[in-house]
Amino acid sequence: MVKVKNVFDHLNRLADIKLAEKWDNVGLMLGNYNDEVNKVLVCLDVTTDVVDEAIKNGINLIVSHHPLIFKPLKSLNFTDDFKSNIIRNLIQNNISVISFHTNLDSASLGLNDFLAKKLKLEEINVLFEHELDHNSGLGRFGKLSKEMDLEEFIKYLKAQFKLETVSAVIGNNKKIHSVAILGGSGADFIYSIPDVDIYLTGDVGYHAALDAIEMKKNIIDIGHFSEHLVKELLQDYIRELNIVVEQSNVEKTPFVIL
């Protein structure tokens, strides 16, 4: 019999919660460590749709990447507050939630490592080493097995990450050989990344993009939703406990290109 605590401990061996950034909120977000788990749903975000999916599929435990609770809750008002109602639905259906966020980003075999391997990078190194463990930290960089021109690389990237669109900031027209990647929101790091041919991250704003051009750096905004690949990583890993693990299939990027 697998309990919530067993899943938590297993995940913590992959991505120790001590590796989480100070501002983050990770771990058991809601539920009971002693509850039995037969079926797990892995997702990027615990949205209303994901909770409905979990209820419909008889899920006992949701494991998300982004924290269910991030900003402190001041009230649970079920009249019209969506967050309150998400929590109420989870409680009423006895669904526990574990969120592993920046600890999973940084872990040596965590999400950024997984993303770098999806691109088949070689000589993978940590971009920003964690103070507790030099094999862990945010972001990775490495080399492609062969140089590509930008167009070829973008095609390859979209296929490997299952993305329909990306936005590119072109600061130079060198061929692409060395690649840095930081899943999620990594625009703040454009000033401190090592000298690579291209940097991949999400949530790149206007000013960061302008600065990248000034610094002659290439950036591809792969969108924050590119972290949907976390579901593959979590599913394969939690299955080691011999329990049923499903990937959410109701999640999609909130943006539409018109």
d(CA 100, CA 44): 10
Q: Tell me the residue length of the chain.
A: 258
Measured from the CB atom, the residue of 89 and 185 that comes closer to Zn ion is 185
For residue 258, the minimal CB distance to Zn ion (Å) is 24
Positions that interact with Zn ion (CB under 5 A)? 184, 227
Measured from the CB atom, the residue of 156 and 225 that comes closer to Zn ion is 225
Output the CA angle 183-240-250, nearest 5 degrees.
50
User: What are the distances in angstroms from CA 240 to CA 130, 175, 231?
Assistant: 27, 40, 15
Tally of CB atoms within 10 A around 242: 8
Measured from the CB atom, the residue of 142 and 184 that comes closer to Zn ion is 184
Select the residue whose beta carbon is closest to Zn ion and give its number.
Answer: 184
Measured from the CB atom, the residue of 44 and 157 that comes closer to Zn ion is 44
For residue 238, the minimal CB distance to Zn ion (Å) is 19
For residue 105, the minimal CB distance to Zn ion (Å) is 8
For residue 43, the minimal CB distance to Zn ion (Å) is 12
d(CA 38, CA 6): 12
d(CA 161, CA 164): 9
Inter-residue contact 253 to 58 (CB < 8 Å): no
Measured from the CB atom, the residue of 15 and 144 that comes closer to Zn ion is 15
* Alpha helices for 109-256 (secondary structure H): 111-118, 150-161, 206-214, 230-238
For residue 192, the minimal CB distance to Zn ion (Å) is 19
139: exposed, middle or buried (C-beta count within 10 Å: 0-12, 13-18, 19+)?
A: buried
For residue 120, the minimal CB distance to Zn ion (Å) is 22
Measured from the CB atom, the residue of 113 and 227 that comes closer to Zn ion is 227
